[in-house]
Structure 1
C-alpha cells in the first residue's frame, strides 16, 4: 500500500459509490482475515454485509472506518481515499460497531450530550434538540433520564443507533443493528433504515438475520473465509440461484419417471402407508429445463397434475451454495 499523508484529503474518486475497496488485505500473523476483496457499495443503497463467523466482516468494517490498518489495498469512503481523508470523511459517517459502549452512571440523554460535545463538528446551539430528536426516533424518549446501567441490551442498542444519528450522515455503518431487540423493535429499526435510505443516506448493515436482510436491503455482499464471494443487487443474487419445482400429483412414480427422462432428479416418493396424493420435489432445480416443458411432458405421459409451483432460490439457498455453511452465525 502506497504511503499517504494523513493530513492531505486527496482527490475524489468513484463518485457513484459510497464505499469502494480494491485488493483489500488484512493479515493477523500468517492468516489473512480479509483476503483481497473488491467491495462496491452504491450511494443511496441499503447494503447487507453477510458472512459466517470469522469470515472477515467485522475486520472489513474496522478497516473502512480507520479502526485498523490494512496490509495492502485501497479504500475509498464517500469518494475520498482512506485513511488519507479520515478527518474529513468521518464527520459524515455514523457508526454502530461491535456493540455500543456508554458511561453506565450517566443517563441515555447524558451520554448523547457528552458524546455530541466531544464532536468538534457538532453545533452546540442545537445539541439538546438533536439529542431529543435522536432519542425519539429510536423510541427511547421515555427512558432519556434513566441511567444506562439500568438499560436492557435492546435499549443500549437503540441508544447506539441514536448516537449514530445525532447529525445528518451521508453513510451509516451498522454492525448487527437489531441485536437484542424484540420483534417490534426490529420492525422499527427496519422502518428507520428504510426512511434514512429514502432521504439519501447510504446504510451499510452487517447482519446474520436473513429475513431482516431480505426485507431491508437493496444490495448484498457475501463474505466467506476472508473473501467476497458475491455482491450485487439483492434480486439479482437471489435469481442467480437454481429454482425448484413442486408438483402435486397422485401419480408420483410415473411423474418421477418423466422427470428422470428430462434429466431432473425428483424428491423421494411417499413410502408405504402415505397418502396417494403427494408432492414430489425436484431437489436439484430446473437445470435449464423450462417449466412449461415439464408440464407438457407430464401431461403427455398421462400424469395427473393437480399443482405446479416454481420456487426461486431463497437468499439462504444462495448463501449456503456460496459458503457451504449454515447461517446461525455472526461474523
Structure 2
C-alpha cells in the first residue's frame, strides 16, 4: 500500500446508510497519485454514492474521507478547484450550443482568468472531438455527444484529479477509443483519473489500479497485476470421456465443470487442485483410460475473479 502522502483519495471506514439500509459498508479506498484507478462493480453496488461523498455532494454516515490530502467535507473549498468531475451524466442547457454551455460553466469558476476563457473552451472541445459540433444546440446532441461535452467541462482547466462516472456511457466504439486515449493523455500531464465503470473491458484497457465494489462492500483492491495474480489457476481438459474425467479430477481434489461440448469432445474446466502438478493430472487421466485431446492450465482472468468476488457477471462488451 502507498503511503498517505502518495494517495490522492483515501477513505477509512466510509459508511453510508439510507432509511435504515446500508449503502456503503466501511469502505477503505486508497487511490495512488498518478494512477488511472478503476472503480468497478455491478450497477447498484454503491459506486456513484461513493463518488458523491468524495465530491461533497452527499454526506457520509461515518468514516473519514481525504481528497488531495485534505479532509472532506471540511476542506471542500480548497479541494474542489483542483478536481474535475462528470457524475451521473452531464446536464446542460438544451437551447444553448456546446460552446455557450461551457462558457457559462467556466464563468462560474472564480479561480480562472476570464481573458483566456474562450481558449480554454475551444481546447476542451477539441480534446473530446466536438469542435465541429461546438455551435450546435445541445438539445440536438446525441447521448454520446452530451457525454463528451460533460468530459470537456471537467477538462476546462488543469486538474490534479479527474473523476469520471461511467465516462463511455452512450459512446460508439470510436468515441470509446477516443475517451480511452484521452484518459491516458491526462496521466501523462500528471493528473490522477478515477473512473467508475461496470464495464470490465474499460478497466482492463485503461486502468493501472482498481477496486471492486459489491453490494456496498469493497471486496478487492490493488494494481491490475495484483488483482490478476489473485485469481486461482484453472485447468482445462478436452476429452470425449466425460464421466471418467470427472472421477479422476474429484479424486485429485477439485470439482470440475462441464463448460460445453464440441463434436466428439467435452471441454471441462476446474480449479487446479492444491499441491497437484499438471503432469500428475495428465498422467492419472491417461492411466484411467481418458483420451486427452487437449490440456492446459490458465491463470484466471479478471472476469473470473470479479464474478467470484461479487457473485454477479459484468458487461464485457466493447
TM-score with structure 1 length normalisation?
0.87
State which drifts further: 159-168 or 307-316.
307-316
Quick one: distance in 2 between partners of 1:82 and 1:250?
Answer: 61
**From 54, 58, 61, the counterpart of 2:51:** 61
Aligned Cα root-mean-square deviation (Å): 2.3
**Residue 309 (1) aligns with residue 293 (2):** no
Quick one: distance in 2 between partners of 1:235 and 1:94?
Answer: 28
Q: Deviations over 1:107-128 (max 9, x none)?
A: 1011111111110111222221
Q: Deviations over 1:118-161 (max 9, x none)?
A: 10111222221121111111110100111111111000000000
**Residue 16 (1) aligns with residue 16 (2):** no
SS in 2 for 1:48: strand
State which drifts further: 71-80 or 222-231.
222-231
Aligned in 2, Cα 1:320/1:269: closer, same or farther, shift over 3 Å? closer
Q: Deviations over 1:60-103 (max 9, x none)?
A: 10100011121221111011111121111111110000010111
Quick one: distance in 2 between partners of 1:45 and 1:270?
Answer: 39
**1:4 alignment counterpart:** none
SS in 2 for 1:263: coil
Cα shift at 1:251: 5.2
Quick one: distance in 1 between partners of 2:219 and 2:254?
Answer: 28
CA contact (8 A) 2:252 2:273 kept: no
Cα shift at 1:265: 3.1
CA contact (8 A) 2:200 2:315 kept: no
**2:71 alignment counterpart:** 81
**1:180 alignment counterpart:** 170
SS in 1 for 2:17: strand
Cα shift at 1:302: 6.2
**2:189 alignment counterpart:** 199
Cα shift at 1:309: 2.3
Quick one: distance in 1 between partners of 2:76 and 2:110?
Answer: 15
Aligned in 2, Cα 1:208/1:301: closer, same or farther, shift over 3 Å? same
Q: How does 1:29-178 map to 2 (within 5 A)?
A: 29-178=19-168
Q: Which consecutive residues of structure 1, in runs of 5 or more, have no partner in the other structure?
A: 1-12
CA contact (8 A) 2:258 2:266 kept: no
Q: How many residues align?
A: 313
**2:277 alignment counterpart:** 290
Cα shift at 1:328: 5.0
Quick one: distance in 1 between partners of 2:277 and 2:79?
Answer: 50
Q: Which consecutive residues of structure 2, in runs of 5 or more, have no partner in the other structure?
A: none
SS in 1 for 2:4: coil
Q: Deviations over 1:255-300 (max 9, x none)?
A: 44433332233344988xx743x243123x1132333432344455
Cα shift at 1:327: 2.9
CA contact (8 A) 2:23 2:215 kept: yes
**Residue 211 (1) aligns with residue 201 (2):** yes
Quick one: distance in 1 between partners of 2:259 and 2:168?
Answer: 42
